[in-house]
Structure 1
């Protein structure tokens, strides 16, 4: 995944007019029209990168030290918005990226262990999801956290799983289906104005142009029928002037 991101950025950087680089998935929908979204992103020189100290899940591999010390280890959403400087740093990185290739790998699900040795305690198998750590850790390691707004602008809701299910599957985002796609859902996401980061005891109050603002410009995961329903019912308001407080 992070190799794909680097390739995308490399090609996007070839156009000198590209100033921001937004990572979105095919299940994302916009919450606002283009002019509102553009103004929100361009109103700050910062990148938007969800980034926080990862102290709970044990994804850091001690074999990364000293190239990547644990003090630089960060976690966050892969759905980031990078400015040109930070995109260039990601593309040109030849130090942290090889370490991630060697020591940050996602644990395979049990059904793919048929031809492999299965340890008695699978909870001790190291599990690391590179795209949730790489950009965050790279920028922290470079001392650039002062140049980022440490939150994502893409909303994701997470399934509540039992500890056994979570051990097997990991955390999984909620997928919104046709019946879920209502104006009330969209408004509830637009109304979010702060994000709580438990590991850092930090609450991020969302602002834009130094004024309170909605936290999110995009949302996921929506099935195709759900996204089309929202577009057809004008629930997203994409073709109307937004009442902007940013």
Structure 2
């Protein structure tokens, strides 16, 4: 998974006009129109890679002590794989051999590199330039290994508005904002018809 992400970044970097890079899945949707998202990303002083220290079996429990001294337990981080980063960080990610090699050697099931490599690497090397959060909203309220899915009947204008303004507060360029998420998931293919129908009412196009 991480190898695929690095290849995607490497190919996107070939176009010198690409300055920001965001990983989305086929089940992600935008919550705002393109100009709004573009302005938010291009105006950001930091990248968006979620990283946090999580005790227990699905956090610190996935760490292999053979990773030391390159990666110590207190440096081990977990986070969403749905990242956004600027060009400088993207170059650092695809150029990394030191930390990537350690993950390749020791991050084996039940260690999942897509949940740990970027959060750990960015936290060790570039934490000052990282916002420490993801831009993709996901519903984990039901628990379990997978987030909630949203089908056709879930999609209403009111529901999409709540995803935009769900009571969250975060930091953007040193100031507090309520615009914390630009995307949301997981939406099934059957939800597409309603999403296309309601998008103009929400996004002013």
- TM-score, normalised to structure 1, is 0.76
CA-CA distance at 1:72 after TM superposition:
1.5
CA-CA distance at 1:61 after TM superposition:
1.3
8 Å CA contact 1:154–1:216 kept in 2: the answer is yes
Q: Which residue of 1 aligns with 2:157?
A: 183
How far, CA to CA, are the matches of 1:227 and 1:149 in structure 2? 31
Q: Which residue of 1 aligns with 2:104?
A: 101
Q: Any idea what SS the aligned residue of 2:137 has?
A: strand
Which runs of structure 2 are paired with 1:152-231 in the superposition (5 Å)?
152-158=134-140, 160-161=142-143, 166=144, 171-194=145-168, 205-208=169-172, 210-231=175-196
Higher radius of gyration, 1 or 2: 1
Q: Kindly tell me: are residues 235 and 61 of structure 1, through their superposed partners in 2, closer, same or farther at Cα, counting changes over 3 Å? A: farther
Q: Which residue of 2 aligns with 1:71?
A: 74
What whole-Å deviation, never above 9, does each CA across 1:88-117 have from its counterpart, x for those lacking one? 1110010111211122123xxxxxxxxxxx
How far, CA to CA, are the matches of 2:188 and 2:42 in structure 1? 29
How far, CA to CA, are the matches of 1:102 and 1:172 in structure 2? 26
How far, CA to CA, are the matches of 2:156 and 2:64 in structure 1? 42
Residue segments in structure 2 that go unaligned for 5+ positions in a row: none
8 Å CA contact 1:76–1:136 kept in 2: the answer is yes
Q: Kindly tell me: are residues 190 and 214 of structure 1, through their superposed partners in 2, closer, same or farther at Cα, counting changes over 3 Å? A: same
Backbone CA RMSD of aligned residues: 1.7
Q: Which residue of 2 aligns with 1:141?
A: 124
Q: Any idea what SS the aligned residue of 2:150 has?
A: coil
8 Å CA contact 2:165–2:178 kept in 1: the answer is no
What whole-Å deviation, never above 9, does each CA across 1:131-176 have from its counterpart, x for those lacking one? 111111111221x111011110101112624xxxx5xxxx111110
How far, CA to CA, are the matches of 1:236 and 1:69 in structure 2? 49
Aligned structure 1 segments of 4 or more residues deviating by more than 4 angstroms: none
CA-CA distance at 1:234 after TM superposition:
3.0
Q: Which residue of 1 aligns with 2:202?
A: 237
Q: More helix per residue: 1 or 2?
A: 2
How far, CA to CA, are the matches of 1:183 and 1:26 in structure 2? 21
Residue segments in structure 1 that go unaligned for 5+ positions in a row: 107-126, 195-204, 241-246
Give the aligned length: 201
Q: Any idea what SS the aligned residue of 2:203 has?
A: coil
8 Å CA contact 1:177–1:223 kept in 2: the answer is yes
